Amino acid sequence: MTQGTLALFGGALLLRLVLIAYGAVQDAYMTVKYTDVDYDVYTDAAREMAAGNSPFDRTTYRYTPVL
């Protein structure tokens, strides 16, 4: 790789890490969350599926299978 490519990838990695850190701080301390509620819904559904269950069997699941 060239020096410019390495600098570009390094900058992109640094920017991504800064945004992740900012999102964690904003989610923890501010009223308006950085992370969208869909992330929580899909993460919860993924945990259910990893446990061998269906997220649609839960009464608290917020999305229909039609979506």
- The domain tally of the chain equals 1
Give the model confidence (pLDDT) of 4-13 as tens digits.
999 999 999 9
Instruction: Report pLDDT digits (tens) over 5-44.
Output: 999 999 999 999 999 999 899 989 988 877 777 777 888 8
Is 19 inside any structural domain?
no
The yes-or-no verdict on residue 49 having pLDDT over 80 is yes
Do you know the residue count of the chain?
A: 67
> Helix, strand, coil % (nearest 5) of the chain?
65, 0, 35
Residue 51 domain-assigned (yes or no): yes
Please give the pLDDT value at position 1.
80
* Buried-state track 1-25, b at ≥16 Cβ within 10 A, e below 16: eeeeeeeeeeeeeeeeeeeeeeeee
- Domain that residue 57 falls in: 31-67
Q: Does residue 67 have a pLDDT over 60?
A: no
